[in-house]
Amino acid sequence: MSVRRIAKEQPDSFAFSKESQAKVDFWLAKYPEDRKASAVIPLLWIAQKQENWVSEPAMRVIAEACGMPYIRVLEVATFYTMFNLGPTGTHLIQVCGTTPCWLRGADTLKAVCEKKIGPKGRDHVSADGKLAWEEVECLGACANAPMVQISNTEGDLYYEDLTAEALEQMLDDLAAGKAVKAGPISGRACSEPTQAKVKVLEDATLYDGSRAAAIDLLPNTDERKSDPEPSTKRPSSARAKSKAKTGPATAKPAPKDKAEAEKPKAARPKAPKNKDD
């Protein structure tokens, strides 16, 4: 991972808003007084969601709230790539470039971002300050590839089943201050089949249990729903005749094993005497 540094230009101060402070108090209350440092990551995230990035003054405020050295907060913020260490676009477009999305056309989405925004990178912001983009690893929505995540102070939302044309329209809408609906643009619910002939879960018998076959033994119990008739296994006629003639079969040692068992144990050899004795 490349070295991550904080922005050269920093604000003079930072303070949590009233809403953010309520969240900070919630997280600090989770830990004992001598373990407040455990809240450092949530507090960094709250600061980022308030300002869209984590400034150096914000890290100092968080260090004081957590009762830990400022350098420790800086170490955490620079280690985790989810934290923006400098100002970025109002909307950060994160294009998944991992194999499933790549196979489904992620390269065309990256081309759109380069065309509408410019070079990738959080510090390369569009002229109006609204958009920035970067390529990221798998975001876990492979069944809805290709997709992007758009992060801003409102949240981090997925936009799936994308095409180049759809993403271009989305970027135009964001630049114009319009709301963009999250989820699959194809209109399907979550990741339901795109070519299904039957609407998923529309038929109640698919999930109400009426299609399930009756079971005799309940799982993880000894309770039977009904007492089955005892089963009797008929022995083969040849085995029955042999048993009637010779009686029950008994294991007998092989002659070689019997002779070995009856062989007297050899005497233990005596240790040689010492010449000096």
Asked if pLDDT for residue 240 goes beyond 80, the answer is no
On average, the pLDDT of the chain sits at 85
As separate numbers, helices (DSSP H) first and strands (DSSP E) second, the chain gives: 9, 5
Last residue of a domain, one of 31, 51, 79: 79
Q: Is 1 part of a structural domain of the chain?
A: no
In a domain, 249, yes or no: no
Rg (CA), the chain: 36
Q: Does an H or E element contain 131, and which?
A: strand 131-136
User: pLDDT tens across 190-216, in order?
Assistant: 887 777 666 666 778 877 888 888 877
Which CATH number is 52's domain given? 1.10.10
pLDDT > 90 in the chain, percent: 62
The verdict on 117 and 165 lying in the same domain is yes
Statement to judge: residues 127 and 166 lie in one domain: yes
Is residue 232, in this structure, part of any structural domain at all?
Answer: no
Domain that holds residue 154: 91-184
Domain boundary residue among 34, 54, 79? 79
Burial of 169 (0-12, 13-18, 19+ CB in 10 A): middle
pLDDT confidence of residue 19: 95
- Determine the pLDDT at residue 204: 81
Where does a domain end: 184, 205, 239?
184
Question: Does 77 have pLDDT greater than 70?
Answer: yes
Q: How many domains does the chain have?
A: 2
Residue 244 lies in a domain: no
Give residue-wise pLDDT tens across range 215-228.
777 777 666 655 55
Whether 71 contacts 120, CB under 8 Å: no
Query: Is 54 domain-assigned?
Result: yes
CATH code, 100: 3.40.30.10
What share of residues in the chain are helix, strand, coil (percent, to 5)? Answer: 35, 10, 55
The upper half-sphere exposure of residue 7, i.e. CA atoms within 13 Å in the direction of its Cβ, equals 19
Is residue 142 predicted with pLDDT exceeding 70? yes
Q: How confident is the model at residue 244 (pLDDT cuts 50, 70, 90)?
A: confident
The two structure tokens encoding residue 262: 């009856």
Could you tell me if residue 74 is inside a domain?
yes
Q: Is residue 118 part of a domain?
A: yes
Confidence of residue 188 (pLDDT cuts 50, 70, 90): confident
With cut-offs at 50, 70 and 90, classify the pLDDT of residue 232: low
The average pLDDT across 249-261 equals 61
Amino acid 164: pLDDT: 95
Residue pointed to by tokens 């044309």: 165
Question: What is the rounded CA–CA span in Å between residue 22 and residue 27?
Answer: 9
CB atoms closer than 10 angstroms to residue 87? 18
Take residue 146 and report the two structure tokens written for it: 């290709």
Contact 62, 40 (CB under 8 A): yes
What confidence tens digit (pLDDT) does each residue in 7-55 have? 999 999 999 999 999 999 999 999 999 999 999 999 999 999 999 999 9
Q: Is residue 41 part of a domain?
A: yes
Residues 54, 95: one domain?
Answer: no
CA atoms within 13 A on the CB side of 160: 20
Say yes or no: 175 and 122 in one domain: yes
Q: For residues 36 and 66, is the Cβ–Cβ distance under 8 A?
A: yes
In a shared domain, residues 172 and 109: yes
The dihedral built from the CA positions of residue 40, 41, 45 and 48, taken in this order, carries a sign that is positive
When pLDDT is cut at 50, 70 and 90, the band that residue 268 belongs to is low
**Which pLDDT value is given to residue 212?**
85
Please give the structure tokens belonging to residue 204: 């109640």
Q: Which pair of structure tokens corresponds to residue 141?
A: 């929505």
* Residue 195 CB neighbours (<10 A): 4
